[in-house]
A and B are shown apart, each in its own frame.
Chain A
Amino acid sequence: MADRSFHPETLAIHAGQIPDAATGSRALPIYQTTSYVFDSADHAASLFNLQTFGNVYSRLSNPTVAAFEERVAALEGGRAAVAAASGMAAEALALTTILQQGDHVVAASALYGGTVTMLAVNLRRFGIETSFVDPTDPAAFAAAMRPETRAVFAETLGNPSLQVLDIAAVADVAHAHGVPLVVDNTVPSPYLCTPIAFGADLVVHAATKYLGGHGTTLAGVVVESGKFPWDNGKFPGMTEPSPGYHGVKFYETFGDFGFTMRARMESLRVFGASLAPMSAWQILQGIETLPVRMERHCENALRVAEYLRGHSRVSWVSYPGLPDHPQHELVRRQMRSVGGRAGASGLLAFGVKGGLEAGVRFIEAAQFMSHLANIGDTRTLIIHPASTTHRQLDEAQQRAAGVTPDMVRMSVGLEHIDDILWDIDQALERSAG
């Protein structure tokens, strides 16, 4: 008899946390501690050797952070997860565990600007090359693979291009070459899409966004599927004795959560971008209502997209939830259905007539829509990517990322839809100048 598979609404509240053994506390305690006592010298030695599971130092693990890790692993249908201080820290954690000097990455061209910089500048400095390809074309990923390729990286829904990744097709390409597919699933959140179900091997999140959901707390997390064969010969770091950890062979010893153990014991431990317990606790408060919030984000965003499309001051609208989006079929296949329509998140983009200047006037005329660099808040957020989030890229890179000079990106919040439409309309009227 198999164990019951609980729904996301239940996992979002319960996974990773049972009542506290010491006190009976129903809510998760915040273990605001750096260190933990050992029961004996033997116990200490066992912990350091990884012969027993426990906590030694909060840079490596912390019970409050662990609840967050298990909750996201459960929601993503993954085997294990490790948290980091931010989404970028989570990406760095995943990539610096997989890659070494001389390796190559095939990445989608439509990525968050910070990710592009990590791949094209920071990792490049350490001798890791990246090829950027059209994320909507699985054949482009295949054509870019090299013998030294060790990872494929993409976003489920590109930010802000909103291009949709065909996860299964790109996973097949990655697996045909014996490398893992790493998917940044920040924009859909695990409620709308679980990339592991489509073949992704690692999933990263900026929990700062929809998971936390309230714009209060930076956090990141890496989830592993537990299904990637790290012993296929391409990843000696997973199978050879670890020089950083007393000769432990991570894959052999820990099996299907070996990657997470290695990421924690070799990368997180050394580079130290650990998530604070208080931050993990705050993100968990948000995660409890993830399903309910995502439903409302999707309903509101669809109404906004339909409204903008009919507006005289808008030249174009892009929202994967609209039936005429070029990848709408893929969205329907990969994303959860909300109210009978494909749930495409709260993120949409549009062009204000009158180009750059009109776009700026629109943003500055908004009354309660917030002009800032974030997505996935309860509040509706707006920004002009070309001059902010993707400013570090040159124009060719911007276009490859799906950013045009007139584009406004909106993260539709949970305010009443009538009020959101009112603010959009009055700001658009004022954008005419």
Chain B
Amino acid sequence: MNDDIPTLRRILKSYRTIAVVGLSAEWHRPSYFAAKYMQEHGYRIVPVNPRYDTVLGERCYASLRDIPHPVDLVDVFRRTADVGPIAEDAIAIGAKCLWQQLGVRNLEADARARAAGLDSVMDRCVKIEHARLFGGLHWAGVNTRVISARRPV
């Protein structure tokens, strides 16, 4: 897994369509928090959860393979043990990145995704990383580890 600042910056800059696997429609759930934040910051959110028809104003699909258009990043809010088949689906639909959220660390899925040429991230939150690297998280007193003399553009 490559999760240094330049790699994460590249991933979050280039991949604009995010399939959120396990997205909950309840507003106080972490998956909803993250998806809403990304949607507000210009990303297209594609909910994947058999329990709902729509979430955050977007059509919700039962599985990744049901999505009729390209997906860049597959964002996984599921248990570590369940990530395997999701990784296979991500590879099958031509996604460019497998992203396992906080507390999700399926090493086999990570290896599979890499071997198939995808970027792969584990145990990180898209919202937190976006806020860390593109502004926002530093306002919460978090150690972003960014040391730079470049004015943000």
Q: Does B146 contact A (CB under 8 A)?
A: yes
A102-142: contact bitstring with B at CB < 8 Å (1 yes, 0 no)? 00000000000000000000000000000000000000000
In the complex the two chains form, what is the Cα distance from A55 to B140 in whole Å?
9
In the complex the two chains form, what is the Cα distance from A63 to B146 in whole Å?
16
Interface residues of B in 135-153 (CB under 8 A from A): 135-152
A3 contacts which of B5, B33, B139, B149 (Cβ < 8 Å)? B5
Closest residue of chain B to A46, judged by CB? B40
Contact A66 B140 (CB under 8 A): yes
B146 contacts which of A18, A82, A260 (Cβ < 8 Å)? A18
In the complex the two chains form, what is the Cα distance from A77 to B30 in whole Å?
26
Q: Does A1 contact B (CB under 8 A)?
A: yes
A255 contacts which of B5, B102, B135 (Cβ < 8 Å)? B102
Q: Chain A residues near B5: list those with CB within 8 A.
A: 3
Contact B145 A74 (CB under 8 A): yes
Given known pairs A14-B147, A24-B151, the reply for A53 and B137 (CB within 8 Å) is yes
Given known pairs A55-B139, A255-B102, the reply for A3 and B151 (CB within 8 Å) is no
Contact B4 A1 (CB under 8 A): yes
In the complex the two chains form, what is the Cα distance from A69 to B2 in whole Å?
28
B36 contacts which of A4, A10, A51, A55 (Cβ < 8 Å)? A51
Closest residue of chain A to B141, judged by CB? A69
Closest residue of chain B to A71, judged by CB? B143
Q: Chain B residues near A252: list those with CB within 8 A.
A: 30
In the complex the two chains form, what is the Cα distance from A317 to B32 in whole Å?
60
Q: Does B37 contact A (CB under 8 A)?
A: yes
Contact A1 B2 (CB under 8 A): yes
In the complex the two chains form, what is the Cα distance from A53 to B138 in whole Å?
9
| Interface 9-mer from A90-98, A176-184, A240-248, A404-412 | A240-248
Contact B142 A260 (CB under 8 A): yes
A271-308: contact bitstring with B at CB < 8 Å (1 yes, 0 no)? 00000000000000000000000000000000000000
B27 contacts which of A43, A49, A260 (Cβ < 8 Å)? A49
Contact B140 A247 (CB under 8 A): no
A21-35: contact bitstring with B at CB < 8 Å (1 yes, 0 no)? 100101000000000
Q: Chain A residues near B128: list those with CB within 8 A.
A: 254-255
Given known pairs A2-B4, A18-B151, the reply for A61 and B140 (CB within 8 Å) is yes
Q: Does B62 contact A (CB under 8 A)?
A: no
In the complex the two chains form, what is the Cα distance from A63 to B137 in whole Å?
11
Contact A70 B28 (CB under 8 A): no
In the complex the two chains form, what is the Cα distance from A42 to B4 in whole Å?
32
In the complex the two chains form, what is the Cα distance from A254 to B7 in whole Å?
22
Q: How far is the CB of A167 from chain B (nearest CB, A)?
A: 20
B5-49: contact bitstring with A at CB < 8 Å (1 yes, 0 no)? 101000000000000000000011010110011001000000000
Number of A residues, CB within 8 Å of B = 53
Contact A19 B150 (CB under 8 A): yes
Q: Does B70 contact A (CB under 8 A)?
A: no
Q: Does A158 contact B (CB under 8 A)?
A: no
B143 contacts which of A19, A20, A61, A78 (Cβ < 8 Å)? A78
Q: Chain A residues near B7: list those with CB within 8 A.
A: 1
Contact A246 B149 (CB under 8 A): no
Q: How far is the CB of A364 from chain B (nearest CB, A)?
A: 44
Contact A261 B140 (CB under 8 A): yes
Q: Does B131 contact A (CB under 8 A)?
A: yes
Q: Chain A residues near B4: list those with CB within 8 A.
A: 1-3
Q: Does B50 contact A (CB under 8 A)?
A: no
Residues of B within 8 A of A (CB): 2, 4-5, 7, 27-28, 30, 32-33, 36-37, 40, 102-103, 125, 128, 131, 135-152
What are 30 A-B pairs at a CB distance below 8 A?
Answer: A1-B2, A1-B4, A15-B143, A16-B138, A18-B148, A18-B150, A19-B149, A21-B152, A43-B40, A46-B36, A46-B37, A49-B28, A51-B33, A51-B36, A51-B37, A51-B40, A53-B131, A53-B137, A54-B139, A55-B139, A61-B139, A70-B138, A74-B145, A80-B143, A247-B28, A252-B30, A255-B128, A257-B141, A260-B142, A261-B140
Q: 3 closest A-B pairs (Cβ-Cβ)? A: A69-B141, A53-B136, A73-B143
